[in-house]
Structure 1
Amino acid sequence: MMNYNHPFHLVTLSPWPLMTSLSLMNLLMSILNWFMWNNFMFLLFNLINLLVIMFQWWRDVIRESTYQGFHTFIVLNMMKFNMILFIISELFFFISLFWTYFHSCISPNIEIGNMWPPKNIMMFNPYDIPLLNSVILISSGFVITWSHNLLLNNKLFYSKISLLITIILGIYFSMMQYLEYNEAKFCINDSIYGSIFYLLTGFHGMHVIIGIMFLLTCLFRMLMNHFSKIHHFHFESASWYWHFVDIIWLFVYMFIYWWMY
């Protein structure tokens, strides 16, 4: 057993970073193989392989945090800063998509008739499913904040219930978006409008699904009594991510659905 005279976490030797990199490379090659030769089995195998590696890597991180006590307050502060940087990088990803949308809608090209939305594009009613989805996500943001407050006050049972409600609202949002896509009168290759609409709403929907998985792992760890009122960075980072998804949706709703309707 080695004793350290510093509060930092020196990460032990791990095979998972290298294996994750190789698995991601194989996953990219299998996606290309799927696109070109319609061979899905290679993609399925590499996807399962990546999920297994990720599970084992996160399992080790949970062990270091919960059972070995490596995540000191200084380490947690650095992890919080890393999460903030990650959310900022995601923000700039969406900024690039919004930039594309504004570039096309403020000054539409002659190829689409100098009009926005292009002719024969039937937009969604912003007061129908999009408004319902806005209410759902904003409500989930309030509920997860309530869950965090209950956790800080050591009311774990009610915190679990409110976190479960947040997950249910997120799943309901995804179901409504799936229903909206089925009712759409245009597809992704219907001019620049269809492309940017499905890129923005689709990537946001994918972030919602990732957020649901994030919250599900938090709920599982809460059921395993891994969290306390002073040690719950996993929950905190998940709530930050969920609030980020909420805020991005408000911009999507205002500019994609409501602004040009």
Structure 2
Amino acid sequence: MPGTERDTLGISQMADAHQKKHDYHIIDPSPWPLLASIGAFILAFGGIGYMRYLSGGAFSLFGINFANPWIFYIGLLITLYTMYAWWADTVKEAHEGHHTRVVSLHLRYGMIMFIASEVMFFVAWFWAFFDASLFPGEAIQAARVEHTGGVWPPKGIEVLDPWHLPLYNTVILLLSGTCVTWAHHALLHNDRKGLVNGLALTVALGVLFSFVQGYEYAHAPFAFKESIYGATFFMATGFHGFHVLVGTIFLIVCLIRAMRGDFTPKQHFGFEAAAWYWHFVDVVWLFLFFSIYIWGGWGAPIAHM
């Protein structure tokens, strides 16, 4: 009997030694980082082949012509599936209680660093735009286009009216930022109806913004490749439009999770990260609106759409 008691005591001590006594989350082995890397490589490789395919060229490697759209779509599917599965595991970990206060704090640090990297990404496009607009003679000569005159916008360019569709989209994004803030405050006060309604309105406004920008692009009086103005305009506003699309997808996922009752006033980092990202998109658009649409097109003839 004493021996049995000693064995029981030893097993109990071993169990105590293996219990979690810290606030960190030791992640289980996961296939998603490797699969994400493979998907990203196939996506990039396929993107090159897709662009060669669209331009009518070839993309030969080891005697095989990879100039086709299918490799790109395969990489896209792998990447999207990995994102879904990886984030699903993250949501599961949160429900299992692994996202302690320390883990949640580090998740916030990670999101802040991600947004900071996005700020630097857009700084590059603003830099390109201001470099071309403040020194138009050098930029137009370097671009080797027909528009001359050393002025900005280049001669022959008709710009979009900033007080028409761009202003309309500005109001849409500002309203969407208000709606997502309303949803956040509703969540903090455990108002499920307000949370769902605020998110639904934000998603609807995000979709509306994308449709308006698509219409604007379809009727733009200048093309991407015809001038340095068109190149810098479409790169800056186009990447912002892509971020709006990504942010809308984030918010749709949050809306589905909110309808399922996933978020609580104390634990809702997924929604908080999406809201931060959406506010970042709002702020970038304000800079785009004032810099590119208003200041960048000042004095140029306006195209009537």
Aligned residues: 260
Matches within 5 A, 1:176-191: 176-191=212-227
- Paired AA for residue 59 in structure 1: A
Distance, in Å, in 1 between the alignment partners of 2:185 and 2:156 is 49
- Counterpart for residue 44 of structure 2: 28
Gap runs ≥5 in structure 1: none
- Counterpart for residue 122 of structure 1: 158
Distance, in Å, in 2 between the alignment partners of 1:52 and 1:82 is 22
TM-score (norm 2): 0.83
- Counterpart for residue 286 of structure 2: 250
Matches within 5 A, 1:223-242: 223-242=259-278
Distance, in Å, in 2 between the alignment partners of 1:63 and 1:190 is 50
Q: CA deviation at 1:33?
A: 1.6
- Paired AA for residue 113 in structure 2: L
- Counterpart for residue 64 of structure 2: none
Indicate the larger mover: 30-39 or 185-194. 30-39
- Paired AA for residue 177 in structure 2: G
Confirm or deny that 1:82 pairs with 2:110: yes
Indicate the larger mover: 39-48 or 95-104. 39-48
Q: CA deviation at 1:23?
A: 1.1
- Paired AA for residue 44 in structure 1: Y
Distance, in Å, in 2 between the alignment partners of 1:223 and 1:165 is 14
What do residues 154-176 of structure 1 show as CA deviations (whole Å, max 9, x unaligned)?
Answer: 00111101110000000000000
- Paired AA for residue 97 in structure 1: W
TM-score (norm 1): 0.97
Q: CA deviation at 1:113?
A: 2.2
Query: Secondary structure at the residue paired with 1:222?
Result: helix
What do residues 9-62 of structure 1 show as CA deviations (whole Å, max 9, x unaligned)?
Answer: 111100100111011111111111212245112221221122112211111111
- Counterpart for residue 252 of structure 2: 216
Confirm or deny that 1:52 pairs with 2:81: yes
Confirm or deny that 1:201 pairs with 2:201: no
Distance, in Å, in 1 between the alignment partners of 2:135 and 2:44 is 36
Matches within 5 A, 1:56-67: 56-66=85-95
- Paired AA for residue 48 in structure 2: L
Distance, in Å, in 1 between the alignment partners of 2:48 and 2:278 is 31
Indicate the larger mover: 201-210 or 185-194. 185-194
- Given the alignment, which residue of 203, 207, 210 partners 1:167? 203
Confirm or deny that 1:99 pairs with 2:115: no
Q: CA deviation at 1:135?
A: 0.3
RMSD over aligned Cα atoms: 1.2
Confirm or deny that 1:15 pairs with 2:49: no
Indicate the larger mover: 120-129 or 26-35. 26-35
- Given the alignment, which residue of 186, 210, 220 partners 1:150? 186
- Given the alignment, which residue of 224, 228, 239 partners 1:192? 228
Which structure is richer in relative contact order (CA contacts within 8 A, separation 6 or more)?
Answer: 1
What do residues 202-255 of structure 1 show as CA deviations (whole Å, max 9, x unaligned)?
Answer: 000000000000101101111111100110000101000000000000000001
Distance, in Å, in 1 between the alignment partners of 2:52 and 2:199 is 42
Matches within 5 A, 1:102-113: 102-109=130-137, 111=141, 112-113=148-149
- Paired AA for residue 4 in structure 1: K
Larger radius of gyration: 2
Gap runs ≥5 in structure 2: 1-14, 54-66, 142-147, 299-305
Query: Secondary structure at the residue paired with 1:140?
Result: helix
